[in-house]
Amino acid sequence: METYIGHCNTKQETPVVGKLIFPERGEFPATRGACLAVLPAGTPLPEETEIVGAIRLDDPECPLETSAPLSCPVLTLPELPQRHHGQIALLDPRQATLFVSPDLVTVNRYAQALRSDPCPADCEHPPLHRSGIISSAEEMIRPHEDGWLLRLTSQESTDADALYDHCCEVADRAVGASVTVILPWDRQNTDSSALRDQLRALFRSAVYGRFSLLFQGPLTNEDCESCLRESHRAFCELESEGREFNGYIPKGVLIDSPLSLMTNLSLSAMDLLCFDLPRLGDCLTGKRPWITDSILTGRIATLLSRFADKHPSLRRTAILPTANDLSEWNPLLASLTIEEVFFSEDNR
């Protein structure tokens, strides 16, 4: 993160977030979503609907030559390097500060205000505004007030750029909240480009959101190593291309098959362990609803606990079916020491 402190000539006090756009020959390139226009000295403020803020490159003490009321904050700076073109930035008019590629600490300071309704004038951080990217996010399932669960399929990796746009839309829809993405891995498919495309899209969009990922499908140590190897390749490709990305996101494995429980998986390089409890229970017992049978539930709890205890350093999460009354699941969750629960109706 790089910070630039200047002078705000306007009374606009609302922080904004967008991509930095440097116009070429006075023409602004087409952009998707909100942007912060970087204006050379003497350039008039453009009337672009996607521009949520402007940075005027001039003497910070020089007043802005306009008498018209401005609908967006304008920060004046002596200079701003061209290399920041296309990078995400946060402009806080109250502090007359521009945060380029803000870190998670800075983003989280404003995240709650961004999600909330407009707050009073004495609010420490007024709400942020984004425009241009709005998603219905129909694939997203709300687990609780702090996080989301998103399932991707192999069909969603045919176009890497489209998948990146989709993940960015998800980040905007769930701004301020964590998003756990389930990535499918097919051990029968020797072509790893699909998974790599998904990883590249996720790493790039993770600049704009709090992402973590779960690999779905690994059954052996070789499978887990293959997933991590593709993750490393995606990381190196993006780094060599000079793209903006965040490859340091928590990674884990989704346990939704009894076969995974029967193998001695080595998950030392992982951060998360997630149990799809409805699917595991259905496969292990062949009975619905098995959760009401205390004997079956106890046996499942013992089996899952033995597996989880082999990986004490991993954060434990679980997927449950959407239900109003979850009290019947509480004993199982407690025995597994589950730290976070996702709700999903997709438990085929």
Q: Classify 11 as helix, strand or coil.
A: coil
Domains of the chain with CATH codes = 2-115 (3.50.30.10), 140-343 (3.20.20.60)
What is the average per-residue pLDDT within 197-214? Answer: 88
Which residue stretches of 27-159 are H helix? 104-115
Describe the chain by its helix, strand, coil percentages, rounded to 5. 30, 25, 45
Please report which confidence band the pLDDT of residue 64 belongs to, taking 50, 70 and 90 as the band edges. low
Give the strand pairing for 97-100 and 140-144: unpaired
- Predicted pLDDT at 150: 82
| C-alpha 34 chain-centroid distance | 17
pLDDT of residue 61: 60
Burial of 25 (0-12, 13-18, 19+ CB in 10 A): exposed
| pLDDT value at 335 more than 60 | yes
pLDDT digits (tens, 9 = 90+) for 270-294: 999 999 998 888 888 877 788 888 8
> 75, exposed or middle or buried, with CB in 10 Å at 0-12, 13-18, 19+?
buried
Backbone phi and psi for residue 75, each to the nearest 5 degrees, phi listed first: -110, 130
What is the C-alpha separation between 309 and 316, in angstroms, rounded?
A: 10
The model's pTM: 0.59
CB 216 within 8 A of CB 254: yes
User: 223-267 pLDDT, tens per residue?
Assistant: 888 889 999 999 999 999 988 898 889 999 999 888 788 777 888
Euclidean distance between CA atoms 20 and 14, whole angstroms: 17
Percent of the chain's residues with pLDDT above 70:
72
* Residue 179: per-residue pLDDT: 84
Q: Are 60 and 7 in contact (CB under 8 A)?
A: yes
Residue that wins the pLDDT comparison between 29 and 40: 40
Q: From residue 233, give the alpha-carbon distance in Å to each of 157, 340, 348.
A: 16, 30, 32
| Residue 333 neighbours by CB under 8 Å, 6+ apart | 318, 341
Distance in Å from the first CA to the final CA of the chain: 43
Indicate whether 30 pLDDT > 70: no
CA gap 300, 32 in Å, rounded: 48
- Tens of pLDDT, residue by residue over 301-312, are 999 999 999 888
Which residues sit opposite 20 in a β-bridge?
Answer: 36
Q: Which two tokens stand for residue 68?
A: 């018209």
CB proximity list for 337: less than 8 A, separation 6 or greater:
308, 316
